[in-house]
Amino acid sequence: MTSYRQIEANRRNALKSTGPRTEAGKQVSRRNALRHGLTAETIIGTLEDADDYRAFEAAIAADYDAQSAVERELVLRLASVLWRLRRATTMETGLFEIQAGHLHDYQQSRQLLLSSRDIIHAAFGRADSARVHAVSHSAAD
């Protein structure tokens, strides 16, 4: 359970937190919910074309004969959800491609590391075996 002192300290700290003060800070803060676009209030982000969305929405609306305001709202909501699912699929594909690139780079660097290790072992392995051979001969003498 939170103590009275802690509650008072929280209240004092909350008074210090006033959010962004400059216009630039407010603009940044305003876009916090748009980081990935899946839960954004606006459908169209900066990387998408508003005309494409309007055409998509019109195509979805044309498939349904909405009679009431609720039906029209549901059709618009359907278009919004389908648009977001397309976006999510595109993002997922992009993330998998990025991950595949990282995996490929890792495998290439790992292969290079193994190749350089073979070279080092080949170069120093011969020197070590020659030294061991020389030491065993001098110990026998």
- What does the pLDDT read at residue 116? 76
- What does the pLDDT read at residue 140? 54
Q: In this structure, what are the phi and psi dihedrals at residue 110, rounded to the nearest 5 degrees?
A: -65, -40
- What does the pLDDT read at residue 62? 94
At 59, the amino acid letter reads A
Q: What pLDDT digit, counting tens, does each position of 124-141 carry?
A: 775 554 454 455 555 555
Q: How wide is the angle at C-alpha 50 spanned by C-alphas 44 and 53, nearest 5°?
A: 80
Short-list 49, 79, 87, CA closest to 62:
79
Task: Report how far residue 116's alpha carbon sits from residue 137's, in angstroms, rounded to the nearest whole number.
Answer: 31
At 7, the amino acid letter reads I
Task: Report how far residue 45's alpha carbon sits from residue 52's, in angstroms, rounded to the nearest whole number.
Answer: 12
Give residue for tokens 């030294």.
131
Token reading at 46: 């900066």
Cα 104 from chain centre: 18
Structure confidence at residue 48 as a pLDDT band (50, 70, 90): confident
Q: What pLDDT digit, counting tens, does each position of 49-105 carry?
A: 889 999 999 999 999 999 999 999 999 999 999 998 998 998 899 999 999 999 988
- What does the pLDDT read at residue 40? 60
Task: Report how far residue 72's alpha carbon sits from residue 34's, in angstroms, rounded to the nearest whole number.
Answer: 26
- What does the pLDDT read at residue 99? 94
37 has pLDDT over 70: no
- What does the pLDDT read at residue 10? 85
* pTM more than 0.95: no
Q: Are 76 and 84 in contact (CB under 8 A)?
A: no
The residue ranking higher by pLDDT, 108 or 130, is 108
Q: Are 96 and 115 in contact (CB under 8 A)?
A: no
